[in-house]
Amino acid sequence: MDPIEGIIGLADYVAPASLVFARIGAIFVTAPILGGGQVPFQVKALITLALTIAIMPSLGPEFQQGIPGPFYPLALVKEVVTGLAIGFCFGLFLEAARFAGDLVGRTAGFAAAEFFNPDAGTMEGPLGALFFTTIALLFFVLNMHLALIAIFAQSFVFIPIGGLALGPHFGEVVHQGLQQTYIIALTIALPLEAAVLAITVSEGVIARAVPQINILHITFAVKILTTMALITVAMPAVITFMGVILNMAQQFTFAFIGVAGG
């Protein structure tokens, strides 16, 4: 084969490969844990390139022949949006654990210990960091990073290159995902919130009955100790439930890519 013809033939793969690279790279921007700031940019780029090389042969010769020039910019934008949406959908459920921890922490007396989390872009308390770290560890223990890579590959089956379209059930799926996120957060937080509420009610009764006692100095520490004791006792159940959360995240992401292809 003529070297020039080989170079021209290789150049035909650049446009379609860049579209695959754009979708996977965008997923790594919003994907949980793998897309966080703790993963170096060089590592993300190398993983994205490796996945692009692995996925390209499975897309078929009709795709590998290239994308028509006039439609290439639009296809590139669609691929970036598709990748961002897939990563966001999977990470939405993991953020529910962080939200539950922050909700409990602010009512239990940990508000003064909050700090700015640059990865999340918001203020975060110690309990939110604890819950998110726990589910992050389960993410790798349960091999969910492999499941996330499988979602990368399956997304090209349900959503062809440049084929992002909002089907009739798109709004319903998104609504269900947001609803499940709040349900997950409240399921984790409400038992602990009930204990804090009981202490708060007792605090009010004692302050009303014996106003001479500075009850706030006592109950402040009691709320923190009670919350930590309950978390320690309930941690096995919390870990089991977080495993369910990861499975729900996988199922919801598959449901999303199923309706995002039109």
Q: Is the pLDDT of residue 122 over 70?
A: no
pLDDT in tens, 4-19: 544 445 556 677 778 8
Q: Which residues of 200-228 are buried (b: 16+ CB within 10 A; e: fewer)?
A: eeebeeeeeeeeeeebeeebeeebbebbe
Please answer whether residues 16 and 67 qualify as being in contact, where contact means their C-beta atoms are separated by less than 8 angstroms: yes
Report angle CA 97, 103, 108 to the nearest 5 degrees.
125
The pLDDT value recorded for residue 73 is: 80
Please answer whether residues 35 and 139 qualify as being in contact, where contact means their C-beta atoms are separated by less than 8 angstroms: no
The pLDDT value recorded for residue 146 is: 83
Full residue range of the structural domain in which residue 83 is found: 3-259
Name beta bridge partners: 207. Answer: none
- Number of domains the chain contains: 1
pLDDT in tens, 192-250: 888 888 888 887 787 777 777 777 677 777 888 888 888 888 888 888 888 888 888 88
Q: Which residue has the tokens 């004791």?
A: 229
Q: Which residue has the tokens 């033939």?
A: 9
- Cα-atom radius of gyration of the chain, to the nearest Å? 24
AA identity, residue 102: D
pLDDT in tens, 67-79: 556 677 888 888 8
Instruction: For the chain, give the mean pLDDT.
Output: 77
With cut-offs at 50, 70 and 90, classify the pLDDT of residue 117: low
**What's this model's pTM, rounded to 2 decimal places?**
0.76
Q: Which residues of 23-39 are buried (b: 16+ CB within 10 A; e: fewer)?
A: bbbbbbebbbbbbeeee
